[in-house]
Amino acid sequence: MDEQVKRMLMRSAMDHLGNAYAPYSGFFVSAALLTEDGSVFYGVNCENASYPSGICAERAAFSAAVSAGHRRFAAIAIVGGKQGKIEGICAPCGICRQVMREFCDPAAFLILLGTGEDDIREYTLDALLPESFGPANLGR
Ligand code: THU
C-alpha cells in the first residue's frame, strides 16, 4: 500500500479522535477504515452508562462501512489515548480483531498503529489474530 495512503488514514483517524465519547473510561479511540475501492469510514468509541452497551471505535467504523454497503476492506488506522492525548500505540481489542476477521483477508488486511503520520507500525490481521476462526469454518 502506498505510504501516502497510510499517512492519510492515520491523519484521518487522528482528526476524528476528539469525537470519541468516553466519559467513563476517559480513554479516547478513533479508527479510519479504508475500503478496497478507496472509501474511508470513521468510528470512535461510544461509551454508555450501561457499560456493556458501549462500542469500540473499530467496530463502529466497520458498522458504518457495512451499513453503507461495503464488504471489502484494505486497511484500518487506529489511534487512542487518555482524554485524547496520543502517548503510545492503541492496539485493537480481541473482539475488534475478530470483527475484522469476518470481513477481511487475514493475510492482506493491514492494521496501522502509531502515534502520528511519521510513526506508523503496520501489521497484518494474521499477525494480530493468528490461527483464527472465520466464515470458512462455518462453510462460508
Ligand atoms: N476501545 C476501543 O474503542 N477500541 C479498542 O480496541 C480498545 C478499547 C475503547 C473501549 C472503551 O470505550 C475504552 O476504549 C476503554 O476500554
Check pocket membership of 76 for ligand 1, CB cut-off 6 A.
no
Residue 81, strand partner residues:
28
What is the 5 CA–ligand 1 centroid distance (Å)?
A: 25
Owner of C-alpha cell 470512535: 44
CB 65 within 8 A of CB 31: no
CATH for the 3-138 domain, from 3.40.50.150, 3.40.50.720, 3.40.140.10, 3.40.80.10: 3.40.140.10
Per the document, the length of the chain is 140
Global confidence as pTM: 0.97
List pLDDT tens digits, range 19-46. Answer: 999 999 999 999 999 999 999 999 999 9
List pLDDT tens digits, range 44-65. Answer: 999 999 999 999 999 999 999 9
Asked about 58 being catalytic, the answer comes back as yes
What is the 26 CA–ligand 1 centroid distance (Å)?
A: 10
Sequence-ordered list of residues with C-beta below 8 angstroms from that of 115, at least 6 positions apart, any chain: 79, 86, 87, 88, 89
Residue 124, strand partner residues:
110
Check pocket membership of 128 for ligand 1, CB cut-off 6 A.
no
Q: How big is the CA angle at 97 (ends 50 and 38), to the nearest 5 degrees? A: 105
List pLDDT tens digits, range 81-106. Answer: 999 999 999 999 999 999 999 999 99
Check pocket membership of 84 for ligand 1, CB cut-off 6 A.
no
